[in-house]
Amino acid sequence: MLSRTADHLYWMARYIERAENMARVLDVTYNMSLVPNAAESEAALWLPALEISGNVEAYADTYDAYTASNVIHYLALDMNNPSSIYSTLRSARENAHAVRVAMTTETWENINALWLEFGQFVGQDLAKSGLREFCDWVKARSHLFRGVCYGTMLRDDAFSFVRLGTFIERADNTARLLDVKYHLLLPKQEEIGGAVDYYEWSAVLRSVSSFQAYQKIYSDTIEPWRVAELLVLRRDMPRSLHACFDEITPILELLSGTRHTECKRLAGELHSKLRYGKMKDIFQHGLHEFLSDFVQSNNKLGVEIHKTFFSIAT
Amino acid sequence: MTNSLPTFFDEMQINIANTDTLNVREIYNAYQHWLKSIPKDLLDSKRQEAEVLFRRVGITFNVYGNDDGAERLIPFDVVPRILDAKEWAHLSAGAIQRVRALNMFLHDIYHEQHIIKAGVVPASVLTNAQYRPEMFGVNVPQQIYAHIAGIDLVRTSESQFYVLEDNLRTPSGVSYMLEDRKMMMRLFPELFRRYSVAPVDHYPQVLLKNLRAVAQSGVHEPTVVVLSPGAYNSAYFEHAFLAQQMGVELVEGQDLFVRNNAVYMRTTQGPQRIDVIYRRIDDDYLDPLVFNANSMLGVPGLLSVYRNGGVTLANAVGTGVADDKATYIHVPAMIKFYLDEEPILENVPTYELSKSDDLAYTLAHLDELVVKEVQGSGGYGMLVGPAASKQELEEFRIRILSKPANYIAQPTLALSTCPTLVEAGIAPRHVDLRPFVLSGKTVTLVPGALCRVAMKEGSLVVNSSQGGGTKDTWVLEEAIETPTTQQAEKVEELSC
């Protein structure tokens, strides 16, 4: 298929996934704010939301205080923030518009409708009211997007690039979320088992729709290392790193065909670390080191995908 | 509808000679009958429904630089324009005849130039800015230049149609013909049971077949693409729509490159050779090495491959010389010259201001005439005498006098009106008609057309760039079921 088309489809899916993950972070952070004494201060509560999305510096350029109202606006609706949900959904729609031919009519109409519906939130003060509904809406639209792709698209390269975008982005987002949360909570490890800690970790689990899965798998108190295991190594957890690479590797093998591509090799390497790695070893080397290495390698994989499929030499 | 008698021919109702009554034209009987049977606000709610649907599908015009992502809709009118089989047979035969002659003309002026030698068309056509010397001696497959032609027709009476202009470069609007039909069938299925409307949705298939037929000889499975300036172009929806309907790639200049006398597209599996390009980019922007050097839209080297027969362009380069207003005057003569036939469709009587008699007449009657710039398009460089202010008339007079040969003049035509839903209800609005003629191994057109309507009361300018809307055009099949027609004839006073 046309390289530019593949590029747009891939990024369309990445932006939708990014918007969903941002909505999840906002949602759980907001829920935490309702738990008494959940954090030492408003700033301590909301700063991680900015850290996860890598927005701390850009935020500081515009705003002074880390208030709920500012952070929510900045991450949800700020038109000047390129990683706000507003901007990512807008980018998703622009990418879709540029290649509407390459997707089914239903997929295109779904994204177009998403953007038209977004209009209802613009200008709202979500911190005051409506944040839950907004986050639910973003998540639901993202589910709908994946569903309409899965249910209507021909299983050709276009479909593969859409799926590839989704899982590369999801892997990145899950790794960042876990890294920031784990990092923040570690100093308090001695207090594990406390009420706040329970809420904090259950919030992390909920943000990746894994709370119920955790209960089902471990039927035990929430332990940080188990949360990490769930989100890194468990292949049956749809948002875990392992599950993402269970999707990514075969897609890249399919797209590469008989070609020996660096992206295929790199994906295989990352995949095997997740497939054969042990939590104990990961902790011994440091979870933070592991996760930041992973985010870097995943980025590099994105670059290789670009080189191989989107910007081929003539 | 108002009860005052129209001074223009109306598609739906006609004057009964020497009386003050209006009668519904026979083909509109069933429609009129239906109109009386529906609740008063139905049409308006259907119009709103259509707007929501069009927005959802994204059948929109882009407004360049618009920041909030809002795109403009072309107004869609829910009242159809209806043509019967006989009217259509006349129009389609005329349009096909015209396009055949125009294609022969294009081949001729880029080769032997018989028509100039015979003195039928003046040699000045060769110095027209739209004449492309680069095309001289170039052979294009099947000798077809205008693979897609939009012929603009207007009607002034029951039997009188005129060709207003030929569009042979990158005529647009066919997606509206197709989408308007889809919309009408969705909104008013019961009307399609009353009328047997000839289908139009096979247009993309005919187009694809023709495009494949004009690949260079020896290519068995030609790769066809649609070349668009990109998502910010006002007609992007149409480019995407046609590519999707034909199942071919929609490409932009940046997706293509030239190597070893061939054009390739960049794909995820490496370069892929292209055989036929349905291009929706003007000549000037096609190849920065030959035409506009600043163009980012085109493909460097494309023209050289094209001239060597490495790729087919549809439409061909250099067709603009045949649809220019300076050439338009000569089309009836072309038809006689090449086909030895009488023109089926008439040209609008036209004054050539390069001739001193015509110039004198035009200047004396400026407030009655429409003056058009040659080598212009889009309804901008144009004077509509009866609608112009004194100052506008004077300004145009000076422009004409400074270069008379740049202008032609025509009588202000009494464009027919068609009932149209406006705020006050249904009212007559002026319309034109653009059928699309497709040339491949045969010259054909699907039974339908883009019908453009001037939504403003009294306005004669139907261009979408000037706020014009569109209507679905129904060409009726030979056999019309008539029970409702006969019933309708008994209730013949028209007042709603």
User: What's the average model confidence in pLDDT over A62-90?
Assistant: 94
**pLDDT (0 to 100) of residue B380:** 55
**pLDDT (0 to 100) of residue A38:** 66
Contact A129, A73 (CB under 8 A): no
- More reliable by pLDDT, B464 or A309: A309
Q: What ipTM did this prediction achieve?
A: 0.77
Cβ of A3 within 8 Å of Cβ of B255? The answer is yes
Query: B101 has which bridge partners?
Result: none
Judge whether B249 is closer than 8 Å to chain A, CB to CB.
yes
Residue A184 has pLDDT above 90, yes or no: no
Chain A residues in contact with B249 (beta carbon < 8 A): 1-2, 5, 101
Chain B residues in contact with A161 (beta carbon < 8 A): 268
Helix (H) or strand (E) holding A244: helix A241-256
Torsion of CA B374, B107, B261, A2, to 10 degrees: 60
Q: What is the pTM of this model?
A: 0.83
**pLDDT (0 to 100) of residue A35:** 77
Chain A residues in contact with B257 (beta carbon < 8 A): 314
Q: Which residues of chain B have pLDDT under 50?
A: 1-5, 64-69, 377-379, 479-496
SS3 per-residue string spanning chain B? CCCCCCCCCECCEEECCCCCCEEECHHHHHHHHHHHHCCCCHHHHHHHHHHHHHHHHCCCECCCCCCCCCCECCCEEEEEEEECHHHHHHHHHHHHHHHHHHHHHHHHHCCCCHHHHCCCCCHHHHHCCCCCHHHCCCCCHHHCCCCEEEEEEEECCCCCEEEEEEECCCCCCHHHHHHHHHHHHHHCHHHHHHCCECCCCCHHHHHHHHHHHCCCCCCCCCCEEEECCCCCCCCHHHHHHHHHHHCCEEECHHHEEEECCEEEEEECCEEEEECEEEECCCHHHHCCCCCCCCCCCCCCCHHHHHHCCCCEEECCCCCHHHHCHHHHCCHHHHHHHHHCCCCCCEECCCEECCCHHHHHHHHHCCCCEEEEECCCCCCCCEEEHHHCCHHHHHHHHHHHHHCHHHEEEEECCCCCEEEEEECCEEEEEEEEEECEEEECCCEECCCCCEEEEECCCCCCCCCHHHCEEEEEEEEECCCCCCHHHHHHHHCCCCCC
**pLDDT (0 to 100) of residue B302:** 96
Q: Which residues contact B59 (CB under 8 A, 6 or more apart)?
A: B73, B74, B175, B176, B179, B237
Helix (H) or strand (E) holding A217: helix A211-218
Q: What is the C-alpha separation between B178 and B78, in angstroms, rounded? A: 14
Nearest to A195 by CA among A24, A32, A41: A32
Judge whether B240 is closer than 8 Å to chain A, CB to CB.
yes
Q: Where on the phi/psi map is residue B264: left (φ > 0), alpha (ψ -120 to 50), or beta?
A: beta
Chain A residues in contact with B243 (beta carbon < 8 A): 101
Nearest to B195 by CA among B494, B496, B483: B483
Contact B9, B158 (CB under 8 A): yes
Chain B residues in contact with A102 (beta carbon < 8 A): 250
**Strand pairing class (B468-475; B450-454):** antiparallel
User: What's the average model confidence in pLDDT over A282-303?
Assistant: 93
Say which residue the tokens 């056999």 belong to.
B479
> Considering only alpha carbons, which residue of chain A is nearest residue B230?
A98
**pLDDT (0 to 100) of residue B358:** 94
Residue B248 main-chain phi, psi, to 5 deg = -120, 165
Q: What is the C-alpha separation between B300 and B288, in angstroms, rounded? A: 6
Tens-digit pLDDT profile for residues A186-243: 655 555 445 667 777 888 888 888 889 998 999 888 888 888 899 999 999 999 999 9
Task: Considering only the beta carbons, identify the residue of A100, A101, A115 that sits closest to B69.
Answer: A115
Helix, strand or coil, per DSSP, at residue A40: coil
Say which residue the tokens 């500012």 belong to.
A70
Task: Considering only the beta carbons, identify the residue of B55, B230, B267 that sits closest to A3.
Answer: B267
Tens-digit pLDDT profile for residues B122-152: 999 999 889 999 999 999 999 999 999 999 9
What is the residue range of A32's domain?
3-313
**pLDDT (0 to 100) of residue B234:** 83
Alpha-carbon torsion (B51, B55, B61, B64), positive or negative: positive
State the burial class of residue A16 (Cβ atoms within 10 Å of its Cβ: 0-12, 13-18, 19+): buried
Helix, strand or coil, per DSSP, at residue A270: helix
Q: What is the C-alpha separation between A76 and B183, in angstroms, rounded? A: 36
Tens-digit pLDDT profile for residues A118-177: 999 998 999 898 999 999 999 999 999 999 999 999 999 999 999 999 999 999 999 998
**pLDDT (0 to 100) of residue B490:** 37
- Closest-CA distance, B311 to chain A, in angstroms, reads 18
Residue B419 main-chain phi, psi, to 5 deg = -55, 135
Residue ranges per structural domain of chain B: 1-133+148-193+324-348+413-496
Say which residue the tokens 């003049």 belong to.
B409
The count of domains in chain A is 1
Query: B250 has which bridge partners?
Result: B226
- Closest-CA distance, B237 to chain A, in angstroms, reads 9
User: What's the average model confidence in pLDDT over A270-284?
Assistant: 93
Task: Considering only the beta carbons, identify the residue of B58, B251, B255 that sits closest to A108.
Answer: B58
**pLDDT (0 to 100) of residue B485:** 41
**pLDDT (0 to 100) of residue B73:** 82
Tens-digit pLDDT profile for residues B309-363: 999 999 999 999 999 988 999 999 999 999 999 999 999 999 999 899 999 999 9
Contact B18, B424 (CB under 8 A): no
